[in-house]
Amino acid sequence: MRLSDFESECDKYQRIIVSQDPGSKPKHIAENNDTSEVYQYRVDGYLIQEGKRCDYLLLNKDKFSVYYIELKGSDLETAVEQIETSESELKRRFQEDLEIYVKAYYRVILNKVCTHQLDSNKIKRFKKAHLNRYIFKTIEYRETI
C-alpha cells in the first residue's frame, strides 16, 4: 500500500496546517510560507490501526522533511514512545514513499508537562538520538516548515 492511497487532511499547497485532536487543547500549527507541496495524515486509527502510534504525520515534499506529531495530555514518556513506534512502523509500511524524506522532526505538544519526566532516561536518550530535531511544548506550537 502507498501513502497516495490515503487522503491528505490538507490541500497540496496549503499555507497553514493545523494538527489538533477534536475537543483537546494541544495543537501544532505549521506555516507553509513557501507554498511547498505538503501532505498531512492522521496516523492514529488511519495509517496505523493498532499499537502505540502518534497522532499526525506531516510531509513537506519540496524540503524533503517529515514531521511526527504527538498531541498529549501530560505523559511525555508515552508520547515519545508513540513517536518512535510510529516512525518505525510507518517506515516499514511506506518505505518507498518515505525514503525521500531525509530530514525527520519530532513534535510533542502537551496539555501540561510533568517536569520530572524531562530528566528521565528515556527522554534523555530520545534527546540525544535526535539532537536539535525535537520540540516539546505545551498547549500550542507554531513553526515554519
Query: What's the total number of domains in the chain?
Result: 1
Query: CB of 80 within 8 A of CB of 126?
Result: yes
Whole-number pLDDT of residue 122: 87
Whole-number pLDDT of residue 112: 86
CA nearest neighbour of 41 among 84, 110, 102, 97: 97
Whole-number pLDDT of residue 33: 97
Whole-number pLDDT of residue 131: 85
- The amino acid occupying position 68 is Y
Whole-number pLDDT of residue 47: 95
Identify the segments of the chain with pLDDT beneath 70. Answer: none
CA angle (53 as vertex; 3, 34 as ends), nearest 5: 50
Whole-number pLDDT of residue 83: 96
Quote the pTM value. Answer: 0.94
Percent of the chain with pLDDT over 90: 77
- Structural domain boundaries, residue 84: 3-144
Main-chain dihedrals φ then ψ at residue 66, nearest 5 degrees: -125, 140
Query: CB of 57 within 8 A of CB of 66?
Result: yes
Q: CB count, 10 Å around CB of 124?
A: 11
Q: Is 37 helix (H, G, I), strand (E, B) or coil?
A: coil
